[in-house]
Amino acid sequence: MTLEEAMGEIKPLELSPELTLIKEKELTGAKVIDGKAIAKAIVKNVKNEIATFKAENPSFQPRLAIVQLGEKEDSNVYVAMKKKTCQQAGIEYTEHHMPDTTSLKDLLTTIEKLNADPSLHGILVQLPLPPHIDAKVVTEAIDPIKDVDGFHTTNIGRLAKLSTMPDFVPCTPKGVLELIRSTGIEIEGKTAVVVGRSDVVGAPTFHLLNKNNATVTLCHDKTKNLAETVKTADILVVAAGKAELIKGEWLKKGAVVIDVGINAQRDLTKKSGVRLVGDVEFSKAQHVAGHITAVPGGVGPMTVAMLMENTLLSARRFWQAQHESGAALTKITPLPLELKTPVPSDIDIALGQQPKNIKQMAEEIGLGADEFELYGKYKAKVDPDVLKRLEHRQNGRYVVVTGITPTPLGEGKSTTVVGLVQALGAHLDKVAFGCVRQPSQGPTFGIKGGAAGGGYSQIIPMDEFNLHLTGDIHAVTAANNLLAAAIDARMFHETSATDTMLFNRLCPKKKGQRKFAPVMLDRLHRLGIHKATPEDLTPEEISKFVRLDIDPATITWQRVMDTNDRFLRKIEVGRNPTEQGHERMTGFDIAVASEVMAVLALSADLKDMRQRLGRMVVASNRAGHPVTADDIGIGGALTVLMKDAIKPNLMQTLEGTPVFVHAGPFANIAHGNSSVIADRIALKLAGVEPGTDASQMGYVVTEAGFGADIGMEKFFDIKCRVSNLVPNAVVLVATVKALKMHGGGPDVVPGKPLPEVYLNENLPMLEAGCANLTKHIQNAKKFGVPVVVAINKFTSDTDAEMALIRKLAIEAGASDAVPCDNWAKGGLGAVDLGQAVVKACEKPQDFKYLYDVQDSIESKIETIAREMYGADGIDLSKEAREKISTYTRQGFAGLPICMAKTHLSLSHDPTKKGVPTGFRLPIRDIRASVGAGFLYPLIGNMQTMPGLPTRPSFYDIDIDFDTGRVVGLF
């Protein structure tokens, strides 16, 4: 850093005619340097600099944090002056006023938070501090890059070395230098004397003059022959703290004298009884000096002006660091892959790669220290408040990965997501984020295995990814089951108590007074009772308030657990003698099927999640009105259980590119996509500043569950509708083997060899199966988004098969169709796909939803059935029609539709592959996830609690006791 950079990079002063730097009146030769005028001009210059920069960069705003302990009068005056000057300069400030009894620990905690806040550019702790606070410890706690006072040892040390410059020059010495320059004197080669050796003024001024090539002597009040030394000074700076220490006759004729001292002396002629004098005997010095500062009005105002300059300098540095490349990210350092043939097992590959420390990853993607929380070495939670800091930025490119209709042969969507992100981020020099769901432990220990990707395209550590992660699913389980317990408990208590008894229990007297909880007031308002005091309720209103009168037959809320346990699909509760008469049939779902999980995935922020959790409908009362979680009074408690789960989890791929893992809603009865919050954060981090070249934009790649007819449609019509995010491209994943199965290939039986047709070239069968691919391409195009087909390539696939798929895909409207080998080669095997996605994202899109959300429930269901599945129409059961009537009456008809049907066919029959025709879609029931914000029609029998197979995956999972590592995961 150059001296000019450290001094502030501020433009030359632009003085108004009414401002003069040197008072014109000569006092027997000496000119009084008007520090007030110079400071005023500097503050005006800072204001102009800010205004000019903001004109081109509207989000630019320097911010200063002012920390003050106690109520000392002089500190109050100084702080008030600094706040006023901030306002004059256009600098925002935050006050942190703490009692003088504040402990050192609490003060340091405050400073730590300010250090970590990326929106703050400077931290000022007002001195002096109370006696019990060690000022040196406090000064050293401030991050040097925010130490706008310039007191940190790092800054002072760099100032002392000729070869380095500090981030900030201390304000008073910096002001002294400006005062000297204002006289027009050439500093280089002059003899300078500094009297006073404090760390705050004297010593830094010595070093600053030395860096400006003056010949400097540092003295103090104990220096022998001080007068003789002072006599040599062309430039004299005095900061000894002793009234009139320097006599006028000591000065060299024509010297520039900067008097930093300010001392109170008794003077009965003054109204205050005191007068302020400097360290220099002004009355005599003015006859000898060429230029001299007055006391007061000399150096004091300059210190505050330099504080403004330093804050602006800091803000500009922060801005440049975050925006010089157009993105807020620093360069992400990829991790090299050691590719092996044959490809080892997933767990062996994952354990063979040393991940980055997640702190490094968080810093690389541009997060401030207070914007993430570490969960061990390789996982972190990200604070959604980062969106507030980045709200001005344009979003990056948004890509959704989906697939053809799934088959037992697998298509590899997760592997493609990871491989594409690795290709973009590690090989194509793009900023790229993956956003994926957190996998349930049910499939991990069941038959499907984990969901971290596969081969050399994985999220790591894959064992942590596939197991507890940071406990989000456990939080969902706890919240769901608390609500389930509350439902049964409420019905139990209502049947055994009078209205008065219930009222007394719900609103007990405390110190002779009753009080409504806030959630109770909300319930009263929904009931049309606008009273805030329990005593004001009439008996009729009390009954209305305390009686939920839940109809047990209408309860839709089940308990959940994150384990495949088929024997809990149907259970009877209330069998204990203490609950006799309250028996009812219910059951368990897998935890990710809970509406709480869907709420987590679709919430915009913590407040929105609170509202969604509160309005979840769990049953109807006997009058047919919906009963919500907030009617039970539990919405706030559910939010408390979920308050950490709302923070996305940051992880990484095998090649060290960032991935957000967040939420895991079931892809049948819910929408099967990762969270809105994670996507929004990633899009901002991958985004650019307004006006930046679009080529600098990064990419966010997310995955939609199941095939394009289910996951992609729900992504567009539910997730995008809720988030208002507009996708730039669709990646549709297919394999030769899966397409052959859709073309009439034989079933695959677990434990038996794969039929030869899947291992040998068969173009007619492949072409027939490509009808399924064509249908999904056409489905995606209905939303106005470009489509790229990713063909996951296996060693048995031939060039002719690849060419045929590409030809048919492009004829169907795809932008491109690209073979991928990312399973065996990582990002390197998906470079062609990455390039195709970049090109597709540059194409214009005309995004639109499939239906108007205000259409009738029946109309929306039929639109999806006809347009996405190719059905001739829908058939509503009597129960489904009754539900349509009920939901319309209850005000839920305007919700989007989340179809719950088999993922194994475009139709409702899982045995029908390819593109079935000539069928009507039977709707047996319709249910409401009001908190999540959708209705889900049931087509066929949807299992929400999977079962374990004869040979579950847990047979292979164990611990290697020599290394402590997990083995057997896949």
From CA 922, how far away is CA 940, in angstroms rounded?
8
CB 39 within 8 A of CB 10: no
- Classify burial at 28, counting beta carbons within 10 Å of its beta carbon; exposed 0-12, middle 13-18, buried 19 or more: exposed
Res 671: pLDDT: 93
- Superfamily of domain 26-318 in the CATH hierarchy: NAD(P)-binding Rossmann-like Domain (3.40.50.720)
What's the Cα-to-Cα distance from 832 to each of 84, 821, 868, rounded to whole Å?
A: 58, 10, 29
Strand pairing class (63-69; 122-125): parallel
Which of 741, 743, 730, 775 lies closest to 870, judged by CA? Answer: 775
Superfamily (CATH H level) for 378-470+645-842: P-loop containing nucleotide triphosphate hydrolases (3.40.50.300)
**Predicted confidence (pLDDT) per residue in 544-561, tens digit:** 999 999 999 999 999 999
Joined together, the tokens standing for residue 157 give 């040390």
The proportion of the chain whose per-residue pLDDT surpasses 70, expressed as a percent, equals: 94
82 included as an active-site residue: yes
Spatial separation of the C-alpha atoms in residues 642 and 640, rounded to whole Å: 5
Phi, psi dihedral angles at 516 (to 5 degrees): -80, 135
For residue 71, the number of C-alpha atoms closer than 13 Å in the C-beta half-sphere is 1
The pLDDT of residue 169 is 93
**Residue 765 tokens, joined:** 């069968």
User: Rounded to an integer, what distance in angstroms lies between the CA atom of residue 712 and that of residue 422?
Assistant: 22
Q: Using CB atoms within 10 A of its CB, is residue 258 exposed (0-12), middle (13-18) or buried (19+)?
A: buried
Same fold, 473-642 and 857-938: no
pLDDT number for residue 448: 61
Which residue type, as a one-letter code, is found at position 67? Answer: V
> Are the C-beta atoms of 913 and 742 separated by less than 8 Å?
yes
pLDDT of residue 560: 95
Q: Which of 24-28, 156-160, 445-449, 540-544 has the highest mean pLDDT?
A: 540-544
CA 523 from chain center: how many Å?
Answer: 33
Written in H, E and C, the secondary structure of 457-470 is EEEECHHHHHCCCC
User: pLDDT tens-digit profile of 299-326?
Assistant: 989 999 999 999 999 999 988 876 654 4
**Measured between alpha carbons, how far is 179 from 239 in angstroms, rounded to an integer?**
15
User: What's the CA gap between 564 and 948, in Å, rounded?
Assistant: 6
Show the CA angle centred on residue 886, arms to residues 880 and 888, nearest 5°.
100
Q: Are 655 and 349 in contact (CB under 8 A)?
A: no
**What tens digit of pLDDT does each residue of 385-408 get?**
999 988 888 999 999 999 999 998
For residue 149, the Cα-to-chain-centroid distance in whole angstroms is 31
Mean of all residue pLDDT scores within the chain: 91
Burial of 162 (0-12, 13-18, 19+ CB in 10 A): exposed
Radius of gyration of the chain (CA): 36
Note whether 280 and 257 are within 8 A (CB): yes
Residue 178 CB partners (closer than 8 Å, separation 6+): 38, 42, 302, 306
pTM (2 d.p.): 0.83
| Gap between the Cα atoms of 658 and 432, Å rounded | 7
Confidence category of residue 8, pLDDT binned at 50, 70, 90? low
Among 479, 414, 424, 509, residue whose Cα is nearest residue 970: 414
Q: Within a 13 Å sphere around the CA of 13, how many CA atoms are in the beta-carbon half?
A: 19
User: In which band, very low, low, confident or very high, does the pLDDT at 969 lie, cut at 50, 70 and 90?
Assistant: low
Write b or e for each residue in 357-378: b if 16 or more Cβ atoms lie within 10 A of its Cβ, otherwise e: ebeebbebbbbbebbbeebeeb
What is residue 72's three-state secondary structure?
A: coil
Task: Please report which confidence band the pLDDT of residue 687 belongs to, taking 50, 70 and 90 as the band edges.
Answer: very high
Cβ contacts of 700 within 8 Å, gap of 6 or more:
396, 397, 398, 399, 432, 433, 435, 679, 682, 683, 686
Return contacts of 447-452, CB within 8 angstroms, 24+ apart.
Answer: 447/948, 447/949, 447/952, 447/953, 448/953, 449/953, 449/969, 449/970, 450/346, 450/969, 450/970, 451/414, 452/346, 452/350, 452/414, 452/418
| Pairwise CA distance, residues 616 & 626, whole Å | 9
pLDDT confidence of 964, banded at 50, 70, 90? confident
Please count the helices (runs of H) and the strands (runs of E) in the chain: 35, 36
Bridge partners (DSSP) listed for residue 192: 216, 235
Q: Tell me the pLDDT tens digit for each residue of 555-587.
A: 999 999 999 889 999 999 999 999 999 999 999
The residue type of 361 is M
Cis bond upstream, residue 296 (ω within 30): yes
First to last CA, the chain: 51
User: What whole-number percentage of the chain has pLDDT above 90?
Assistant: 77
Closest among 812, 791, 798, 803 to 760, alpha carbons compared: 798
Provide mean pLDDT across the span 211-231.
Answer: 93
Which three-class secondary structure string do you get for 515-545?
CCCHHHHHHHHHCCCCCCCHHHCCHHHHHHH
Q: Give the C-alpha separation, 138 to 124, whole Å.
A: 11
Q: What CATH homologous superfamily does 857-938 map to?
A: Formyltetrahydrofolate synthetase, domain 3 (3.10.410.10)
Answer whether residue 28 shows pLDDT above 60.
no
CATH number of 473-642: 3.30.1510.10
Going by the DSSP 8-state scheme, the letter that residue 717 receives in this structure is I
Has residue 26 got a pLDDT over 70?
A: no
Catalytic pick among 31, 82, 252, 775 = 82
Helix (H) or strand (E) holding 295: none
Domain ranges of the chain: 26-318, 378-470+645-842, 473-642, 857-938
CB atoms within 10 A of CB 653: 30
Q: Sorting pLDDT into bands at 50, 70 and 90, what band is 955?
A: low
Q: What is the DSSP letter of 227?
A: H
Could you report the per-residue pLDDT of 480-509, keeping only the tens digit for each? Answer: 999 999 999 999 999 989 999 999 999 999
CB-based contacts of 707: which residues, under 8 Å, 6+ apart?
Answer: 402, 403, 404, 405, 406, 776, 903, 906
Q: Which residues does residue 216 pair with via DSSP β-bridges, in sequence order? A: 192
**What is the spatial distance between Cα 798 and Cα 810, in angstroms, rounded to a whole number?**
19
Q: Which of 558, 577, 576, 578 is nearest to 568 (CA)?
A: 558
272 Cβ partners below 8 Å, 6+ apart? none
What are the DSSP calls for 100-162, one per residue? TT--HHHHHHHHHHHHH-TT--EEEEPSSPPTTS-HHHHHHHS-GGG-TT--SHHHHHHHHST
